[in-house]
A and B are shown apart, each in its own frame.
Chain A
Amino acid sequence: MSETVSQARHGYAVEMIEITKNFPGVLANDKVTIRIKTGEIHAIVGENGAGKSTLMNQLYGLYRQDSGEIRIFGEKKVFFGPRDAIKAGIGMVHQHFMLVDTLTATENVVLGSEPVKGLNFDIRGSRQKVKELSEKYGLYVDVDAKIEDMPVGMQQRVEIIKTLYRGAEIIILDEPTAVLTPQEVEELFLIMKNLQKNGKTILFISHKLNEVMEISERITVMRGGKVTAELITKETSEREIARAMVGRDVVLKIDKLPHRPGNVIFEVKDLWVKDNRRLEAVNGVLLQVRQGEVVGIAGVAGNGQTELVEAITGLRKTEKGQLIFQGKDVTGAHPRTLREMGMTHIPEDRFKYGLIKPFPAYYNIILGRHYKTPFAKGAFLDHKEVKRYASEVMEEFDIRPRIIEHLGGNFSGGNQQKLVVGREIKANPKFMIVAQPTRGLDVGAIEFIHNQILRMRGQDVGILLVSMELEEIFSLSDRILVMYEGEIMGEVRPEETTIEEVGLMMAGKRLEEVRGDKQ
């Protein structure tokens, strides 16, 4: 082996030993020990609430452990903030990029440690350095382009360069594939291999088992704040990982019973919507959802799905077009009107829309119906009934901890999502918008939520499903629409298409082009 002396001396790049971290009411990490070998791609998998984000945030200095020790290249470290972690050679690419949209790639990379020439910002020198880094590791970026003009894949590469520029030897990638098309994922994997060849150590956090199998060398599985398995990728299987994640055997495929869709319940006619920057986000979308039908909208994040959902649910102004619900024009209707008519909404961003964090669970569970019987008696809330109902929902949807006074913000991600899902399903909808229902959830919770969605379908509820997870779209939808830059690229049936075909549409090819190319 041609390992350098320093690497040979410290076989492990990262050692986190007996790490314990407590949050009020939650033991997020319980004596967790992981060891990452220098120069390996190490995957950390686990459900949300398993404690992997908490663990990584401690490694990056965002939290401090209650007890336990962190060693980097064999040396004991105490991090008081990300600055200390960066100094120790750790870089992190967050799931939500930390980039300034209006600055160029170069400016973003050097932000916070700008090189100077005399009194001036040495833009030319920086540009050169960024270019060199990008070439050395095969990270293609347009160094002069502004972030807002870049595709997501390139933004991610800027983030990676940023860590390298600050001297990272250990790079944490937090769910890096969540925002990418299948093609972009392949590119990312090439980059990861390249980084590895150059001696970098990579921590890859994911819950997509096929990706973990493809790219990693070793896998640490977490569940309930503990490490449940340390596996060598070559010697394991998806099934074994899933079992370690959930603690039982999981059916990875769900059975969708055939169901005959009924009448059209919701219709979108030539809808145009602008985003927060007043740029076109949805450009002439046309779609119909029938009773007892799941219509899936596939697409890479940021192609207008968010704005489409917000427009349909009355949270965003429409520029042009019509929304028709049960035959009535509901364009511009207030969310309360839509809820009264039988529309519910599982929002993609449960922190922004789904939950009021300082409210206890029993208040969150009645949001949207709080002013009606049985929860309100005249002007007053009927606390007894509200609490009784909350216990019922928490029981039915297995929301833990089963404490109705627990604050919304203190539940783990998966339980917060169950709370939202439970609330919206129990409101007896006729039409339901389901956006990213399983983002960041564990296999067990995903299975549960998928079954709930299909149960609603069986009860003749019309469902519009928006998801970035192709697997989810394929296993739940009756019809799939692919969205790219605010337009529908084509409509396909899951049984008549392939992941590749949908992937190409997600990258901006129209169905006719995709099918035309093949012939």
Chain B
Amino acid sequence: MKKMLESIAVPVIAVLIALVISAFVILAIGKNPIQAYKILLHGAFGSKQAIIDTLIKSTPLILTGLAVGFGFRAGVFNIGAEGQMGMGALVAATFASNFGGLPPAIAIPLTLLLGMAAGAGWAAIAGLLKAKTGAHEVVTTIMLNWITTYIASFMVTGPLVTGYGSPKSPEISTSAQLPILMRVGAMELSAGILISILAAIFMYVFLNKTTTGYEIKAVGFNPYAAEYGGISVSKNIILAMAISGALAGLAGVTELMGVHHRFLGELAGGKGFDGISIALIGQNNPIGIIFAAILIGALRTGSNEMQFMGVSKYIVMITQAIVIFLVAADRIVRAIYARKKVTA
């Protein structure tokens, strides 16, 4: 219980400190920080439309956060959620424009599976390389990110190209689009948010209740002891990467099926990398990750509104950076605290 409180306290305090520091930055550019935060809050949660916008922005962030967080729990640093997300959306988009003849009950799960499988497969390449050759996943997943970028731009300017203007794929069949839960003005909240929450539940149950979860955690904590206990380290590294990649692929495919309905050149747009920050703020805990993703989503939505009073939306990037810095520096803070206690 005390431990749980402590793990919640760190990110919450980090956010508060970050807001205070950002307030000074806003002050320095000659604006009123209290006013700015009021508008930020209003922009993120002030109306039905704002709340829906925040949730739409948070959906892929929850999923990439889960992807990276799952990797951390399994002892792998999947920095390639960005590429896996893109791959998931790209592969699904390639097929899903032809699903018109299928009923949604088949087309939707099929498209979701395609996206997850593509993300899983893409990440499993890095897992395989780590298991068999020891190549570090940070290096290989970044390389795979670039490969994704180039494959995607080839596909949307070549085989899939459609219409004029910015490169994009044809729209996916209506039967493969996610149902809309709520519509306010032009804002459509799709079932993607439910999928992301289901994914968080999956991660919790998988890691805490199943034997495979036990094995994956064992390998992450101590691969020697795992091997000693008859757990195959290489199999579990590949599996951990694949599951992490499937979650990232799911982020891509829900974006595709619930928001854009077609593959755009810049679909992932850094959300895969945001997943790293979100996993960090959420302390790799599925529920923590949901809240962290909503926090980041809210900052992003609210910052648009803040621009109208002349405060750059990049202020929230500063806030986000300080939060991450403080959460990561948690240990430093603890060490300083411990030292003080002895001297006193």
Binding site for B on A (CB under 8 A): 64-66, 78, 80, 313, 315, 334-340, 345, 347, 352-359, 363, 367-368, 370-371, 376, 379-381, 383
Contact of A347 (CB < 8 Å), options: B214, B218, B228: B228
Contact A65 B225 (CB under 8 A): no
Contact A370 B228 (CB under 8 A): no
Question: In the complex, how many angstroms separate the beta carbon of A435 from the nearest chain B beta carbon?
Answer: 12
Contact A353 B230 (CB under 8 A): no
Contact of B230 (CB < 8 Å), options: A347, A352, A354, A368: A368
Question: In the complex, how many angstroms separate the beta carbon of A451 from the nearest chain B beta carbon?
Answer: 25
Contact B225 A353 (CB under 8 A): yes
Contact B339 A354 (CB under 8 A): no
Q: Is B53 an interface residue (CB 8 A)?
A: no
A337 to B221, CA, bound (A): 22
CB<8 Å pairs between A and B, sample of 6: A338-B230, A353-B228, A367-B228, A376-B211, A379-B210, A383-B209
Q: List 8 extra interface pairs beyond A315-B227, A352-B224, A353-B225, CB under 8 A.
A: A65-B342, A335-B228, A352-B225, A354-B228, A355-B222, A356-B222, A370-B214, A376-B211
Cβ–Cβ < 8 Å partners of B227 in chain A = 315, 335
Contact of A379 (CB < 8 Å), options: B212, B226, B229: B212
A354 to B343, CA, bound (A): 37
Contact B339 A358 (CB under 8 A): no
Contact B229 A370 (CB under 8 A): yes
Q: Is B32 an interface residue (CB 8 A)?
A: no
Cβ–Cβ < 8 Å partners of A339 in chain B = 230
Closest to B232 in A: A334
A357 to B223, CA, bound (A): 12
Cβ–Cβ < 8 Å partners of B199 in chain A = none
With A66-B342, A334-B230, A334-B232: A370-B211 Cβ-Cβ less than 8 Å: yes
Cβ–Cβ < 8 Å partners of A383 in chain B = 209
Contact of A315 (CB < 8 Å), options: B209, B222, B228: B228
Question: In the complex, how many angstroms separate the beta carbon of B219 from the nearest chain A beta carbon?
Answer: 10
Closest to B222 in A: A356
Contact of B225 (CB < 8 Å), options: A313, A334, A354, A381: A354
Question: In the complex, how many angstroms separate the beta carbon of B223 from the nearest chain A beta carbon?
Answer: 10
The 3 nearest A-B residue pairs measured at CB: A336-B230, A367-B229, A353-B228
Q: Is B274 an interface residue (CB 8 A)?
A: no
Question: In the complex, how many angstroms separate the beta carbon of A426 from the nearest chain B beta carbon?
Answer: 14
Question: In the complex, how many angstroms separate the beta carbon of B336 from the nearest chain A beta carbon?
Answer: 12
Cβ–Cβ < 8 Å partners of B232 in chain A = 334, 336
With A334-B232, A370-B215: A355-B225 Cβ-Cβ less than 8 Å: yes
Secondary structure of the B contact surface, majority rule: helix
Question: In the complex, how many angstroms separate the beta carbon of B4 from the nearest chain A beta carbon?
Answer: 13
Encode contact with A along B225-256: 1 for CB under 8 Å, 0 otherwise: 11111111000000000000000000000000
Contact A380 B210 (CB under 8 A): yes
Q: How many A-B residue pairs have CB under 8 A?
A: 73
Question: In the complex, how many angstroms separate the beta carbon of A79 from the nearest chain B beta carbon?
Answer: 10
Question: In the complex, how many angstroms separate the beta carbon of A372 from the nearest chain B beta carbon?
Answer: 9
Cβ–Cβ < 8 Å partners of A80 in chain B = 339
Contact of B342 (CB < 8 Å), options: A64, A353, A358: A64
Binding site for A on B (CB under 8 A): 209-212, 214-215, 217-218, 221-222, 224-232, 339, 342-343
A380 to B222, CA, bound (A): 21
Contact B209 A381 (CB under 8 A): yes
A315 to B222, CA, bound (A): 14
Contact of A356 (CB < 8 Å), options: B209, B211, B212, B218: B218
Contact A358 B228 (CB under 8 A): no
Cβ–Cβ < 8 Å partners of B215 in chain A = 370-371
Cβ–Cβ < 8 Å partners of B217 in chain A = 359
Cβ–Cβ < 8 Å partners of B342 in chain A = 64-66, 78
A80 to B228, CA, bound (A): 38
Contact B222 A357 (CB under 8 A): yes
Name which of B211, B214, B225 has the most chain A CB atoms within 10 A of its CB.
B225
A340 to B215, CA, bound (A): 17
Closest to A353 in B: B228
Cβ–Cβ < 8 Å partners of A356 in chain B = 218, 221-222, 225-226
Cβ–Cβ < 8 Å partners of B343 in chain A = 78
Contact A380 B225 (CB under 8 A): no
Question: In the complex, how many angstroms separate the beta carbon of B62 from the nearest chain A beta carbon?
Answer: 25
Cβ–Cβ < 8 Å partners of A313 in chain B = 228
Question: In the complex, how many angstroms separate the beta carbon of B218 from the nearest chain A beta carbon?
Answer: 6
With A80-B339, A356-B218, A357-B222: A380-B228 Cβ-Cβ less than 8 Å: no
With A334-B230, A335-B230: A359-B218 Cβ-Cβ less than 8 Å: yes
Cβ–Cβ < 8 Å partners of B225 in chain A = 352-356, 367
Cβ–Cβ < 8 Å partners of B212 in chain A = 379
A78 to B228, CA, bound (A): 42
A64 to B338, CA, bound (A): 10
Closest to B212 in A: A379
Contact of A381 (CB < 8 Å), options: B210, B226, B228, B339: B210
Cβ–Cβ < 8 Å partners of A66 in chain B = 342
Cβ–Cβ < 8 Å partners of A359 in chain B = 217-218, 221
Question: In the complex, how many angstroms separate the beta carbon of A78 from the nearest chain B beta carbon?
Answer: 7
Question: In the complex, how many angstroms separate the beta carbon of A4 from the nearest chain B beta carbon?
Answer: 33
